[in-house]
Amino acid sequence: MSEALRPMVKSRLYEQVLERLRAYVTEAGLKAGDKLPAERDLAASLGVSRASVKQAIVVLEVQGLVEARHGGGTYLVRDTLDVEPVEQLVERRKRLPEVLEAREALETKLAELAAERRTDAELEDIRQALDFMRDEIAEGANGVEGDRRFHAAVTAAAHSSLLADFMKTIAGQITESRTESLRQPGRPSRSLAQHTAICEAIAAGDPKKAAAAMRKHVRTVAKVRLLTWVPED
Amino acid sequence: MSEALRPMVKSRLYEQVLERLRAYVTEAGLKAGDKLPAERDLAASLGVSRASVKQAIVVLEVQGLVEARHGGGTYLVRDTLDVEPVEQLVERRKRLPEVLEAREALETKLAELAAERRTDAELEDIRQALDFMRDEIAEGANGVEGDRRFHAAVTAAAHSSLLADFMKTIAGQITESRTESLRQPGRPSRSLAQHTAICEAIAAGDPKKAAAAMRKHVRTVAKVRLLTWVPED
DNA sequence: GTGGCCTAGTGGCTGAGCCACTTGACCGGT
DNA sequence: ACCGGTCAAGTGGCTCAGCCACTAGGCCAC
């Protein structure tokens, strides 16, 4: 029972900063993807040094609640800074990079195969998915359903049941990352543009171009979600 | 492949320091309670600034692996700085429901007995534990020590050596759940409120009310702990 | 348009320094 | 010999000022 002998722990400054930060996020109604104020501003308005703000941010970073981009600001990963369902989140974050890596490998090859093997009917399916996504976005939605259909159509057009099976095993996690990705401001329209490029390459029967376009697309998604994870809401 | 997906990711300096620290503890064979080198020495020998060492130590602190005493050095809490492997965590969680069920049974009865049998001196002990916890929280700590003292005082006031013995056998695991629970934002103050309710029931000599208050308290702790497995109770 | 360039903004990290707290040795009185 | 108070060194807590590296967005030349 060394705990009993342990002297009382006094509050560290960074813990207080943590509290204020949590309160700020709540009060300001910040959501996932939103940007926190600059460290210098935070330090000034909280009346503490930048080093203390930094310590608090490092804590939030290792807890996966925040993502600090060198030179680009610090962003919320979730809608809150509270740490609740910790362990599961940690486990998922560990696996996410693997999932995204697998996705790149699979979908790049799928796009390549689709460009080679697609029938005209399958090309039409892909185009319809694209149109569907365009409509979704035009109506203000984020386009997740169109996104899903597009990738499903490409997978079907690749005529590889084995690769399709592999995709199935990570489908759930891909769905989650897709949802999160499309929630980023401006992402839906950019995602649509990338889909269009993939579609055109497949239509043109250019496997190399299709693979490259798909790779770029998947990497864009991966970059947004890199080192971060947000449970589906 | 993984390199391809995260080409730009650079280790933050504090992460490298973390690595070196873990390696150092292992190589030097440090055990729980041993003292780490001073921050200044660490910074000098690792060739980094003290601020970076500090960030690493803050991380270890929030992970409960290390305890920094103002003016007194930084000490190991366990024999290693490695975070507990996920598997082990999961295993521990599987056993936990049983522990928490046992705790509910024991402590509910203990509170009931305490309300009937407590002497004035024992009531005073309970109140002091409550005050201690209040002070801890007021100073920004999470109140684990006050929490422990409170439950110990109630157990003593129940005058049941058998039940007390039972409690002893699960004391270790209760400590873990207590620490975990009080780490949640906002928990300490709510826990304090529940303790106060229990204390008042015991003071009033109302066994039924004391038992009810204790049951509610223990279930709250259990709920926090079980969130990962049981979304709704 | 498209691509390259430039600059302001922002996070990463450093080094020097002051303060607060702990520890232990030292010293004087009993 | 013992107790109690004092003091200095060691150490963590925190700040300040500043430089560097990277990002993003606007601007300009082509």
Fold agreement between B2-76 and B86-226 = no
Q: In the 3-class helix/strand/coil scheme, how is A15-73 assigned residue by residue?
A: HHHHHHHHHHHHHHCCCCCCECCCHHHHHHHHCCCHHHHHHHHHHHHHCCCEEEECCCE
Q: Which of A168-177, B114-123, B132-141 has the highest mean pLDDT?
A: B114-123
Each residue of B82-91: pLDDT tens digit?
765 443 444 4
The CATH number of the structural domain formed by A10-76 is 1.10.10.10
Domain boundaries, chain B: 2-76, 86-226
Read off the pLDDT band of A216 (50, 70, 90): confident
Cα torsion angle, A133, A156, A182, B2, sign: negative
> In this structure, what token pair is assigned to residue A52?
């203390």
The partner residues of A69 in beta bridges, in order of sequence, read A73
Residues of B189-212 as b/e, b for ≥16 C-beta within 10 angstroms? eebbebbbbbbebbeeebbebbbb
Compute the distance between CA of residue B127 and CA of residue B118 in angstroms, rounded to an integer.
Answer: 12
Q: Are B230 and B96 in contact (CB under 8 A)?
A: no
Whether the pLDDT of residue A146 is over 70: the answer is: yes
pLDDT value at position A225?
52
Nearest nucleotide relative to B49: CA against C1': C14
Residue in chain A lying closest to B171 (CA): A1
CATH for the B2-76 domain, from 3.40.50.2000, 3.90.1150.10, 3.40.50.2300, 1.10.10.10: 1.10.10.10
> Using CA of residue B219, residue B220, residue B226, residue B229, what is the dihedral sign?
positive
Q: Distance, in angstroms, between A55 CA and closest chain B CA?
A: 6
Structure tokens at A19: 């509290």
Instruction: Enumerate the residues of chain B whose CB falls inside 8 A of the CB of residue A91.
Output: 86
CB A159 within 8 A of CB A113: yes
Q: Measured in angstroms, what separates residue B148's CA from nucleotide C22's C1'?
A: 26
Amino acid, single-letter form, for residue B83: V
Hey, of A9, A52, A216, A233, which one would you mutate to test binding to chain B, going by the most B CBs within 10 A of its CB? A9
Q: Which CATH architecture has domain A86-225?
A: Up-down Bundle (1.20)
| Closest nt to residue B17, judged CA to C1' | C13
B→A contacts (Cβ < 8 Å), by residue, are 1-2, 4-6, 9-10, 12, 14, 33, 51, 54-55, 58-59, 61-63, 67, 69-70, 86, 89-90, 93, 135-136, 139-141, 144-145, 148, 175, 183-185, 227-228
pLDDT in tens, B35-73: 999 999 999 999 999 999 999 999 988 888 888 888 889
Asked whether residue A14, judged by its CB, lies under 7 Å from any atom of the DNA or RNA strand D, the reply is: yes
Q: What pLDDT shows up at residue B88?
A: 43
Pick the residue with more confidence: B183 or A224? Answer: B183
Cα angle value A66/A69/A75 (rounded, 5°):
35
Helices and strands in chain A, H and E counts: 11, 2
The pLDDT of B164-176, averaged and rounded, is 69
Phi-psi category of B70—alpha, beta or left, where left has phi over 0 and alpha has psi -120 to 50?
A: beta
Q: Name the least confident of A147-156, B48-57, B157-166, B192-201.
A: B157-166
Predicted confidence (pLDDT) at residue A53 exceeds the cutoff of 70:
yes
Fold of B86-226: Four Helix Bundle (Hemerythrin (Met), subunit A) (1.20.120)
pLDDT for A229? 38
Helix (H) or strand (E) holding A75: strand A73-76
Strand D: positions under 7 A of a protein C-beta atom: 10-18, 21-24
Instruction: Tell whether the model's pLDDT for residue A88 goes beyond 80.
Output: no
A110, A170, A175, A211 from A165: Cα distances, Å: 12, 9, 16, 19
Under 8 Å between Cβ of A218 and A100: yes
For residues A106 and A160, give the distance between their C-alpha atoms in angstroms, rounded to a whole number: 11
Angle, CA of B200, B202 and B204, to the nearest 5°: 70
**Which token pair is B142?**
């999470």
SS3 of chain B: the string is CHHHHCCCCCCCHHHHHHHHHHHHHHHHCCCCCCECCCHHHHHHHHCCCHHHHHHHHHHHHHCCCEEEECCCEEEECCCCCCCCCHHHHHHHHHHHHHHHHHHHHHHHHHHHHHHHHCCHHHHHHHHHHHHHHHHHHHCCCCCHHHHHHHHHHHHHHCCCHHHHHHHHHCHHHHHHHHHHHHCCCCHHHHHHHHHHHHHHHHHCCCHHHHHHHHHHHHHHHHHHHHCCCCCCC
| B117 contact to strand D (CB, 7 A limit) | no
Q: Are A154 and A198 in contact (CB under 8 A)?
A: yes
Mean pLDDT of B98-107: 67
Q: Is B232 exposed, middle or buried (0-12, 13-18, 19+ CB in 10 A)?
A: exposed
CB contact under 8 A, A10 and B141: yes
